[in-house]
Chain A
């Protein structure tokens, strides 16, 4: 049974990691705590839902669509909204992000009502067994593999391309980056787009696994936040480590102490990390 619980935790941790990658990227580069992150995940989930319901497009294929849609949305939000206040104090961007969250959630509520919806794929609950004791849900495993693939792609973009170099340069030293000719405004917009695009991917996977509704974003923002803190900023592996840590601890914890304490466990870890290692497990020194 303990093995099953750990596997459950790891698979869930993968999803947490994907949720947090986007938030970590935006936070690390621009110092914006994107409160609206969960709402973007929700939009990704609904993109998948509608593509599936209206056109019968398989959720795994719609991954590309939801990432693209959310990338464009994120790019636009940064370019036309957040860039206007990026030089102001952190509080202003925080408030703006909060406003965006309220706007997105309530628009979704008006458009789609508060109904709980579900993407019904025939393979939704497929599973296979290892031995007699362990059952592995196939979709969760696929989601986990996708998380790793997406992390690798992002890692590649950040480290090996010109775009990535300008993103990293901007986050390390704004003035120097500007001096060597980096278009900072554009870099910010692209970074935000990438982060939100990753949120879109998380939304798609979330929609395959769980029911979705316009108000689902809040708790996802919180979980992503915890994962980012645990993993630490400024490292693409941070969210992955943070996600797995959170997933496994939650699974074990809710087994030992009862499921009602799942959130208590997440936030206890958060507090512990903040006390013992404020920069996160993999975070650099700042």
Chain B
């Protein structure tokens, strides 16, 4: 028995030597900037997590292929170290700590969802390592005086602002609005922000209701919407809830003049799952494939959309674009700082003014991007930007379920 243990130990030691040699050899040439990222590979957030990973990978690959990152006289390449946070905030913050203390990453890329970003950003703050994230928009991430967190999604409370502005252009202007939101941090911010905005703009919020994250049954909410006669329904939730809501609205024949959803309509899954019933659903996003911005890593938005589609075989949505922007901001900020010192890079990120395929990136003093969202509508099976600068005119009021072909 002792002999076996000895052999195993020696074996392990040899293995350790081999691996450490490998890492020594890699460390020198070319020089590497390590980006750490704990994000969902499995669990409920894994779908959206993948959108960010694809974007981060694509941006890093592009940078490394086209000259790397210039820091002073040296050239570096980016390398991302990933861990699977299993869609669990506690696990995620533990992994971020591991990335900083054990893997000694230089900088951090964010996870997906506001709920996970909050604890992660606090770890970043504790170790004073800047984190740029593209997957959390709740105001709670940015209201803690955390100097080390930067976000590329516009503030949750302003998500429906452009939608409400668009409603004002309709004739007649709808009067009654129902606001529904899931009880997670991001959607609560959206719900409360939207209510405030809507009331300020003179709409009557007839139903303001919170539901449990992951809810499958919207029958009672739909029954209320029908009996309160809400003309416009704004829903802040997640893909599955958006799917359930739409399907059950049809089952119960509830047809408001407009339904808009924060998450769902811009995703290919949503349209595939609902087929024709997805038609006319409105959505909001910080970005759409129909925009055209001059890029930093890519020539412009359209070139990015084309390359992305070739590489991953699906249409990019705002999650992907937001992820690209995170990596682009890091490259730009590190080059301007001319050093890998976390403090100096942090200051450079705060002073960012960069054109990317995602739009112009500039951060507010609290670290969140200055920007707003656009209104989308599914028309003819495609996601079309309808406001502002719409590619097509929005269809309003939308035909009732029974009157559709």
**Interfacial residues, chain A to chain B (CB-CB below 8 A):** 1, 4-5, 8, 12, 106, 109, 113-118, 120, 124-127, 129, 135, 137, 139-140, 209-211, 213, 215, 219, 250-251, 254-255, 258-263
Contact = CB atoms under 8 A, between A and B. Distances in A.
Contact of A258 (B209, B250, B252, B274): B209
Contacts of B364: none
B274 A118 contact: yes
14 contacts: A1-B227, A114-B42, A116-B239, A117-B273, A118-B243, A125-B250, A137-B251, A251-B220, A255-B224, A259-B211, A259-B220, A259-B221, A262-B211, A262-B215
Given A118-B243, A258-B209, 16 more contacts: A1-B223, A4-B252, A109-B46, A114-B43, A114-B46, A118-B274, A124-B251, A210-B216, A251-B220, A255-B220, A259-B210, A259-B211, A259-B212, A260-B210, A262-B217, A263-B212
A262 B182 CA distance: 12
A236 B218 CA distance: 29
Given A106-B42, A114-B44, A120-B273, A259 B223 contact: no
Nearest to B251: A137
A211 B43 contact: no
Contact of A115 (B47, B215, B274): B47
**Nearest 8 CB-CB pairings of A with B:** A118-B273, A125-B250, A259-B211, A137-B251, A8-B219, A114-B46, A260-B210, A211-B243
B61 interface: no
A218 to B, nearest CB: 10
A124 B275 CA distance: 11
Contact of A113 (B47, B211, B212, B243): B47
Contacts of B227: 1
Interface string B205-243: 000011110111111110110010000000000011001
Interface residues of B, number: 37
B269 interface: yes
B233 to A, nearest CB: 14
Contacts of B211: 258-260, 262
Contacts of B215: 259, 262
Given A5-B223, A118-B243, A120-B273, A137 B252 contact: yes
A79 to B, nearest CB: 30
Contacts of A126: 251
Contact of B212 (A114, A213, A262): A262
A206 to B, nearest CB: 9
A120 B270 CA distance: 12
Given A114-B44, A129-B253, A137-B252, A258 B210 contact: yes
A120 B47 contact: no
A5 B219 CA distance: 8
Given A8-B220, A259-B221, A262-B212, A127 B252 contact: yes
Contacts of A113: 46-47
A219 B216 CA distance: 10
Contacts of B240: 116, 211, 213
B347 interface: no
B275 A120 contact: yes
Nearest to A106: B42
Nearest to B274: A118
B253 A127 contact: yes
Contacts of B239: 116
Contacts of A213: 240
B36 to A, nearest CB: 23
Contacts of A210: 216, 244, 247
Contacts of B220: 5, 8, 251, 254-255, 259
B244 A215 contact: no
B240 to A, nearest CB: 5
B95 to A, nearest CB: 18
A140 B216 CA distance: 14
Pick the most buried of A106, A116, A258, A263: most chain B CB atoms within 10 A of its CB. A116
Pick the most buried of B216, B219, B243, B277: most chain A CB atoms within 10 A of its CB. B219
Contacts of B312: none
A198 B224 CA distance: 34
Contact of A109 (B42, B212, B223): B42
B212 A116 contact: no
B275 A135 contact: no
B127 interface: no
A215 B40 CA distance: 14
B54 interface: no
Nearest to B250: A125
A139 B145 CA distance: 52
B210 A127 contact: no
Contacts of B250: 124-125, 127
B317 interface: no
Contacts of A125: 247-248, 250-251, 277, 401
B382 interface: no
Contacts of A258: 209-211
Pick the most buried of B42, B214, B218: most chain A CB atoms within 10 A of its CB. B42
Contacts of B221: 254, 259
B13 to A, nearest CB: 33
A71 to B, nearest CB: 26
Interface in B25-83: 42-44, 46-47
B183 interface: yes
Contacts of B42: 106, 109, 114
B241 to A, nearest CB: 9
B247 A259 contact: no
